[in-house]
């Protein structure tokens, strides 16, 4: 069993090695190790169950000491998530989980810190914290459950609801243009941005695998169905008749295609979707998740408008950038190297002093 | 020419000028020289919130008042003996505070027609005899400075900028201040611009020499060093002392310090200071907003750090929800509120004591928070350690109520022996505390009612906490009515049971009928007023509250021991409300909310009135 000292410095370069500073276990773990004794209390049929099961069965794969994993959430249906995992956890307040997790992760590089949030929590009340966490690149995995509705407050429109959404608070239709979480994250300088689907466990886990391997902030948007207030919001992506046509799988180094569509360069310098059989193989855009220039990733994030004609799923962007906690720890190390370890007497005696008596 | 030297026991100088004139720097340097010389001192910077208000206008006036003496003093002084006025606006803004007979040193170069008009002077007060009741020294500070710097390769504008150093040199001569430190300071400050350093030093020395040679000043003054308690001293402001106190608290608690903060006047200097001491393992996080600042501090506390957030009133308002989360998750956290004039943005650079009730009650639900208030700039050091002691021992957020007057004011500080600082460390919980190896995060210490602090990384103690009500013991979500009632009462009992020292009363003869009680930064003016009363043969007792929640156990007894209780506050009676409600004592409030500290003379008058009305 490796063990890192508490408050370990982040001196080692760990770019691309998201778990390098987190102590490993030599105990074989299974799904049951990550289940807490609390009864799960989401509505029957909620997409959150599938995500919880996917995460619980994924975590053992990381081989981390369970006590070094922390889930922090805000407020909303999804934010009950930490109660159901037998790790450390904090169910905090509305929108603030990224801020709380930032303080925790910045001071404890030896922890695997996860943020569980929803579209209202992350993009409405907590929008400011989300974008700043992303630009700072603290070592966090942020799972944004996007069901495009407010569930816990019983069905008001959310910042990702489509314009014209009829809800309890918008009987004549909502007026505001929704956020596209992927575009927002890329615009906020995020170093890792992905989208996956609650019902596709294999894909969801593959994205989590990459997200945890990434040191820095990873933002994973999970399309999640709210069967009570916004049922079938993502049905096209699940319907066997159309899903293969509209789902554009993003895999690094692979052409971006669905069963019938392909992404190509447009004449105006952007990108567009063409019928796959109308273009030659060398015209199809090959996905480069590691491109330092975010413009193509951003363009890809805009492809799902108009809604659900074609939807990119997978990792839009994954680039190496020093994580905030590492840089912060390096500054502490540098300060000690330059000035020696802190000495309280010396500190107090600094400046102009004089003696009496 | 040999000039007369007059002995004084104390002097109050006020430097006043445009906010771009460098008055704060001038005051700081004069203070450093005075501290080095060994006088007791107390300072009051007073400046506009605007960084560069329109030049030459009344709102743009910035001032720095320094009181120094050959004995121990408690306040920056009521009224200046000397006003240095760098322009007509500075004269006009400060003249009402200046007693007849005081000295005015005015920069005559700036008394131009245009500048006079700007502040509504029809004629030049330096020439029209309107200042005949003061001793006016009209000095051409600007042109003398420019002349002194003729040999330097400087533009006229750059040369003029050194006029504050000329003024500093003149005042240093006038009051026999040592010069070495100022020269060294200028060399260091402008190390990368040696020409500017030399020019400033030349201006400083020219000012000194001017005093020595001019006939305008026939007398210079000497204030002997004060006889203070033996020890090593330094001059320190409240914000700096508070930052040092937090660092010391981290060391004494054996916890890494984590500061989450968003810049706000007048608290930002604490962030600045702490960010310079990373060699202590201090992490400073400049957050995207006030809420993130406290959120990050709480997250760090969950991870085992000493979490701190620093702010002023508007920031406390924004942090309230997170403080409530800290109350219910029962994690240590320090919220530093450097109070300023409100409501809303108010007057950011002016002082007030108006956040007491917000600190006490400004959260949803029954959400008790301990409150500690320092009473002088140097006391901010000890108060920070005390706040940390309570936070760590009782696993609770603690409000530390400083204010703008303490934050920017300074005084000599007798340095504590580090070995004598209290050990405030607590052990993290590392073992299960329930049956069959279970961990109960809300099973409390029977004495303190504190819950275990088990931090991530501790095997076997994985647990979840949050804002939803928790079942006693297990910490699991609970909506049980009786459990909620129990938890509300338990959280209240925990805070009410915090061990705070008894309230001490200063009543030399033990037969005073009137008690004057205060809290926070009013200590200096109240104590100075009490001295005046006693020097005049009057009797008055004094007590000062450092812990506002919980109040010392003997507070009620103390209040009831006196016929009359007077409580001066820089608010409309916030502590008075608490004391009246709690102890049913008919407290007499004295309230002024002018953005400035009380004056000793003013309070002495109030105390005398209360004594007289008692007879």
pLDDT tens-digit map of B390-439: 999 999 999 999 999 999 999 999 999 999 999 999 999 999 999 999 99
Per-residue pLDDT, averaged over B230-240, amounts to: 95
Paired residues of B64 in beta bridges: B15, B45
Residue from the list A99, A108, A338 with its beta carbon closest to the beta carbon of B291: A99
Chain B residue nearest residue A86, CA to CA: B462
User: Using CB atoms and an 8 Å cut-off, which of residues 121-150 of chain B contact chain A?
Assistant: none
CA distances from B357 to A261, B312, B316, B333, B368 (A): 64, 14, 12, 19, 12
Residue of B nearest to A8 (CA): B281
Cβ-based contacts of A92 with chain B (< 8 Å): 295, 325, 466-467
Binary contact (B297, A354; C-beta < 8 A): no
pLDDT of residue A70: 98
pLDDT exceeds cutoff 50 at A234: yes
Cα–Cα distance measured from residue A265 to residue A274, given in angstroms and rounded to the nearest whole number: 10
Residues B149-180 pLDDT 10s: 999 999 999 999 999 999 999 999 999 999 99
Residue B472 · residue B442 · CB < 8 Å? yes
- The continuous run of DSSP H or E covering B16 comes out as strand B10-18
Residue of A nearest to B228 (CA): A356
Nearest CA among A129, A78, A116 for reference residue B318: A129
Residue A69's pLDDT is what?
A: 98
DSSP state of A123: I
Is residue B1 pLDDT above 70, yes or no? no
Say what the pLDDT of residue A5 is: 38
Tell me the β-bridge partners of B543. B505, B517
Which of B420, B464, B477, B479 to substitute to test the interface with A, most A CBs within 10 Å?
Answer: B464
- Name which of B138, B55, B134, B52 is nearest B96 in CA terms: B134
What is the predicted ipTM?
Answer: 0.95
DSSP percent split of chain B into helix, strand, coil, nearest 5: 40, 20, 40
β-bridge mates for residue B220, sequence order? B5
Q: Give residues 487 to 546 of B whose Cβ lies within 8 Å of A.
A: none
Q: Do B415 and A353 touch (CB under 8 A)?
A: yes
Tell me if B415 and A349 make a contact (CB, 8 A cut-off).
yes
Chain B contact set for A140 (CB, 8 A)? none
Q: Is B248 on the interface with A (CB under 8 A)?
A: yes
In chain B, which among 389-428 make CB contacts under 8 A with chain A?
415-416, 418, 421
DSSP of B548-609:
EESPPTTHHHHHHTSSEEEEEESSSSHHHHHHHHHH---PEEEE--SSSPPPHHHHHHHHHH
Q: In sequence order, which ranges of B218-282 are alpha helices (DSSP H)?
A: 238-253, 268-275
- Averaged pLDDT for residues B374-378: 97
Which residue out of A92, A107, A108 would a mutagenesis test of the B interface target, given it has the greatest number of B Cβ atoms within 10 Å?
A: A107
Contact between A354 and B232 using a beta-carbon 8 Å cutoff: yes
Separation in Å, CA of A112 to nearest CA in chain B:
10
The CATH number corresponding to A31-233+320-337 among 3.30.70.20, 3.40.30.10, 3.40.50.970, 3.30.70.260 equals 3.40.50.970
Q: Give start-end residues of each CATH 3.40.50.970 domain in chain B.
A: 234-420
B36 and A354 within 8 Å at the Cβ level: the answer is: yes
Residues B197/B154, Cβ–Cβ less than 8 Å: no
For B548-591, the pLDDT digits (tens) are 999 999 999 999 999 999 999 999 999 999 999 999 999 999 99
Angle between helix axes B163-174 and B23-37 (nearest 10 degrees) is 30
CATH annotation of B4-223: 3.40.920.10
Domain extents in chain A? 31-233+320-337
Task: With H, G, I as helix, E, B as strand and everything else as coil, classify residue B6.
Answer: strand
Do B285 and B260 contact (CB within 8 A), yes or no?
yes
pLDDT band for B614, please (50, 70, 90 cuts): low
Are residues B462 and A328, on separate chains, in Cβ contact within 8 Å? no
Chain A residues in contact with B244 (beta carbon < 8 A): 347-348
Of B32, B289, B416, the CB nearest to A128: B289
What is the reported pTM? 0.94
Q: Is A166 exposed, middle or buried (0-12, 13-18, 19+ CB in 10 A)?
A: exposed
Distance of CA B145 to the CA centre of its chain: 34
- Do A82 and B464 count as a contact with CB atoms less than 8 A apart? yes
CB contact under 8 A, B247 and A100: no
Contact B352, B341 (CB under 8 A): yes
Q: How many CB pairs under 8 A join A and B?
A: 218
Rounded Cα–Cα distance for residues B315 and B309 (Å):
10
Q: Which of A116-125, A248-257, B26-35, B515-524 has the lowest mean pLDDT?
A: B26-35
Instruction: Quote the crossing angle between the two packed helices A324-339 and A97-107, to the nearest 10°.
Output: 40
Nearest CA to A10 out of A341, A18, A300 is that of: A18
The token duo for A243 is 């899903």
Domain B505-614 sits in CATH at 3.40.50.920
Confidence of residue B53 (pLDDT cuts 50, 70, 90): confident
> To the nearest whole number, what is the mean pLDDT of chain B?
96
List B307's β-bridge partners, or say none. Answer: B258
| Model confidence pLDDT, tens digit, residues B438-479 | 999 999 999 999 999 999 999 999 999 999 999 999 999 999
- Indicate if the pLDDT at residue A7 is higher than 70: no
Please say whether the beta carbons of B143 and B109 come within 8 A.
Answer: yes
**Do A92 and B467 lie within an 8 Å CB cutoff?**
yes
Give pLDDT, residue A3.
Answer: 39
Q: Is the separation of the CB atoms in B434 and B443 below 8 Å?
A: yes
Q: Which of B32, B227, B260 sits opposite A103 (nearest CB)?
A: B260
Sheet of strand B505-506, all strands in order from the earlier edge strand to the far edge: B505-506, B541-545, B514-519, B564-569, B588-591
A344: left (phi over 0), alpha (psi -120 to 50) or beta: alpha
Portion 27-56 of B in contact with A at CB < 8 A: 32, 35-36, 38
Average pLDDT over residues B504-511: 96
Confidence of residue B36 (pLDDT cuts 50, 70, 90): confident
Kindly identify which residue of chain A lies nearest to residue B464, measuring between CA atoms. Answer: A89
Q: A197 CA to chain B: closest CA distance, Å?
A: 27
CATH 3.40.50.970 fits B234-420, yes or no: yes
Strands (E), B312-395: 333-339, 371-372
Calculate the alpha carbon distances from B36 to B29, B219, B567 in Å: 11, 23, 36
Task: List the 271-310 stretch of B: residues with Cβ below 8 A of A.
Answer: 277-283, 285, 287-289, 291-292, 295-305, 307
Could you tell me the CA-to-CA distances from B253 to A33, A243, B248, B389 in Å, in that order? Answer: 34, 58, 8, 8
Quickly state the pLDDT bin for A351 (edges 50, 70, 90). confident
Q: Rounded CA gap, A88 and B165, in Å?
A: 59
- Considering only CB atoms, B322 lies closest to which of A96, A340, A344, namely A96
């Amino acid at each position: 069993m490796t063990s890192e000292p508490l408050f370990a410095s982040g001196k080692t370069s760990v770019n691309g090695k998201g778990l390098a500073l987190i102590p490993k276990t030599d105990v074989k773990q299974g799904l049951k190790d990550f289940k807490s004794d609390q009864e799960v209390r989401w509505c029957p049929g909620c997409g959150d169950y599938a995500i919880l099961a996917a995460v619980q069965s994924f975590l053992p794969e990381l081989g981390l000491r369970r006590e070094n994993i922390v889930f922090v959430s805000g407020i909303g249906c999804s934010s009950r998530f930490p109660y159901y995992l037998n790790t450390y956890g904090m169910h905090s307040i509305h929108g603030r989980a990224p801020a709380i997790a930032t303080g925790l992760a910045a001071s404890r590089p030896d922890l695997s810190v996860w943020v569980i949030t929803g579209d209202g929590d992350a993009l409405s009340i907590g929008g400011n914290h989300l974008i700043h966490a992303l630009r700072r690149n603290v070592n966090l995995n942020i799972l944004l459950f996007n069901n495009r509705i407010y569930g816990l407050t019983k069905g008001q429109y959310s910042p990702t609801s489509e314009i014209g959404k009829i809800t309890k608070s918008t009987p004549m239709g909502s007026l505001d243009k929704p956020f596209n979480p992927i575009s927002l994250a890329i615009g906020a300088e995020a170093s890792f941005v992905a989208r996956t689907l609650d019902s596709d466990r294999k894909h969801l886990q593959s994205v989590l695998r990459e997200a945890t391997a990434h040191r820095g902030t990873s933002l994973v948007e999970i399309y999640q169905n709210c069967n009570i207030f916004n049922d079938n919001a993502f049905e096209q992506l699940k319907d066997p008749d159309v899903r293969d046509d509209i789902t554009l799988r993003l895999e690094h180094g692979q052409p971006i295609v669905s069963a019938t569509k392909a992404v190509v360069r447009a004449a105006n310098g952007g990108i567009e979707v063409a019928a796959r059989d109308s273009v030659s193989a060398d015209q199809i855009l090959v996905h480069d998740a590691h491109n330092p220039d975010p413009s193509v990733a951003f363009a890809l994030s805009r492809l799902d408008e108009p809604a659900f004609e074609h939807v990119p799923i997978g990792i839009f962007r994954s680039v190496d950038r020093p994580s905030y906690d590492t840089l912060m720890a390096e500054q502490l190390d540098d300060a000690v190297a330059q000035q020696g370890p802190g000495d309280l007497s010396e500190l107090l005696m600094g400046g102009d002093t004089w003696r009496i008596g | 020419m040999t000039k007369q030297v007059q002995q004084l026991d104390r002097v109050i100088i006020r430097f006043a000028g445009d906010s771009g004139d460098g008055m704060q720097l001038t005051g700081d340097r004069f203070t450093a020289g005075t501290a080095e010389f060994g006088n007791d001192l107390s300072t009051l910077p007073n400046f506009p919130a605007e960084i560069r208000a329109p030049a030459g206008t009344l709102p743009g006036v910035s001032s720095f008042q320094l009181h120094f003496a050959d004995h121990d003093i408690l306040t920056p002084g009521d009224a200046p003996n000397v006003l240095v006025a760098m322009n007509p606006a500075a004269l006009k803004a400060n003249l009402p505070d200046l007693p007849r007979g005081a000295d005015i040193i005015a920069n005559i170069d700036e008394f131009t027609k245009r500048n006079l008009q700007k502040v509504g002077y029809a004629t030049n007060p330096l020439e029209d005899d309107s200042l005949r009741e003061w001793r006016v020294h009209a000095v051409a500070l600007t042109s003398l400075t420019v002349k002194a710097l003729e040999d330097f390769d400087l533009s006229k504008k750059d040369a003029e900028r050194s006029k504050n150093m000329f003024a500093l040199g003149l005042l240093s001569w006038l009051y026999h201040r040592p010069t070495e430190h100022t020269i060294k300071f200028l060399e260091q400050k402008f190390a990368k611009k040696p020409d500017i350093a030399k020019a400033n030093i030349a201006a400083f020395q020219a000012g000194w020499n001017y005093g020595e040679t001019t006939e305008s000043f026939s007398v210079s003054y000497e204030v002997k060093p004060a006889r203070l308690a033996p020890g090593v001293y330094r001059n320190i402001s409240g914000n700096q002392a508070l930052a040092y106190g937090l660092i010391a608290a981290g060391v004494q608690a054996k916890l890494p310090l984590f500061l989450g903060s968003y810049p706000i006047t007048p608290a930002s200097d604490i962030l600045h200071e702490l960010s310079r001491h990373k060699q202590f393992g201090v992490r400073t996080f400049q957050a995207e907003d006030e809420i993130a600042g406290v959120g990050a501090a709480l997250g760090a506390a969950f991870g085992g750090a000493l979490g701190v957030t620093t702010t002023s009133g508007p920031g406390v308002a924004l942090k309230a929800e997170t403080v409530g989360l800290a109350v219910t998750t029962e994690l240590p956290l320090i919220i530093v509120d450097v109070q300023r004039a409100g409501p809303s943005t108010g007057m950011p650079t002016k002082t007030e004591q108006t956040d007491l009730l917000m600190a006490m009650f400004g959260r949803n639900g029954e959400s008790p928070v301990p409150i500690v208030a320092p009473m002088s700039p140097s006391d901010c050091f000890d108060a920070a350690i005390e706040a940390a002691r309570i936070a760590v021992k009782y696993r609770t957020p603690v409000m530390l109520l400083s204010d703008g007057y303490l934050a920017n004011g300074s005084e000599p500080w007798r340095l504590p022996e580090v070995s004598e600082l209290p050990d405030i460390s607590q052990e993290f919980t590392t073992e299960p505390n329930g049956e069959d190896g279970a961990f109960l995060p809300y099973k409390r210490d029977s004495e303190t009612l504190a819950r275990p602090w088990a931090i991530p990384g501790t095997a076997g103690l994985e647990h979840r906490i949050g804002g939803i009500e928790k079942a006693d013991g297990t910490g699991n979500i609970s909506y049980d009515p009786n459990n909620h009632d129990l938890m509300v009462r338990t959280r209240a009992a925990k805070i009410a049971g915090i061990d705070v020292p008894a309230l001490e009363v200063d009543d030399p003869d033990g037969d005073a009928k009137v008690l004057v009680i205060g809290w926070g930064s009013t200590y200096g003016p109240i104590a100075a007023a009490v001295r005046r009363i006693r020097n005049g043969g009057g009797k008055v007792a004094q007590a000062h509250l450092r812990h506002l929640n919980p109040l010392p156990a003997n507070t009620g007894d103390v209040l009831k021991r006196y016929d009359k209780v007077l409580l001066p506050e820089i608010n409309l009676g916030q502590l008075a409300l608490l004391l009246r409600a709690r102890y049913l004592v008919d407290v007499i409030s004295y309230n002024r909310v002018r953005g400035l500290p009380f004056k000793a003379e003013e309070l002495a008058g109030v105390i005398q009135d209360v004594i007289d009305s008692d007879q």
